[in-house]
């Protein structure tokens, strides 16, 4: 099985990408290439929807790390949503992503992003 990558329309400082199939040594470069233009922008968050992802290898985890590293200098985050149980198990085992950046649903991730943005806005108001 191959890798499916569906890039959804961008939001304010946020980009959603649905990933399906297998993310492994044969397909990780496809994800890296698809994410590269997004990682050069000043994104606050890259949300990877993993609901259709059936398998992830160390090469796939490396792609997620690469995205996290690219967004980190300007405070951006990579958030993972809807991981299948087997994907969640792998992420737990290798501690690939901090637990506060993995969400069981898109709504849960949206609530987190909303709270994060409100916090930034409030901090800006406090500076005035």
pLDDT, tens digit (0-9, with 9 covering 90-100), for 64-97 = 989 999 999 988 889 999 999 888 888 877 775 6
Compute the mean pLDDT over every residue in the chain, rounded to the nearest whole number: 84
**What is the CATH classification number for the domain harbouring 120?**
3.30.750.24
List phi, psi (to 5°) of 12. Answer: -70, 100
Euclidean distance between CA atoms 116 and 122, whole angstroms = 10
Domain that holds residue 74: 3-127
CA angle 46, 65, 47 (to 5 degrees): 15
pTM as predicted: 0.77
DSSP 108-122: HHHHHHHHHHHHHHH
CA 26 to chain centre: 20
Count of structural domains, the chain: 1
């Amino acid at each position: 099985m191959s890798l499916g990558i569906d890039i959804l329309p961008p939001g304010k400082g946020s980009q959603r990408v649905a990933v399906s199939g297998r993310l492994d040594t044969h397909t990780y470069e496809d994800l890296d290439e698809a994410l590269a233009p997004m990682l050069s922008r000043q994104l606050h968050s890259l949300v990877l929807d993993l609901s259709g992802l059936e398998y992830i290898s160390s090469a796939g985890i490396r792609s997620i790390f690469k995205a996290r590293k690219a967004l980190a200098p300007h405070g951006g985050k990579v958030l993972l949503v809807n991981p299948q149980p087997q994907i969640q198990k792998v992420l737990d085992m290798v501690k690939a992503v901090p637990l506060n950046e993995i969400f069981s649903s898109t709504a849960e991730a949206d609530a987190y992003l909303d709270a994060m943005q409100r916090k930034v806005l409030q901090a800006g108001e406090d500076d005035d």
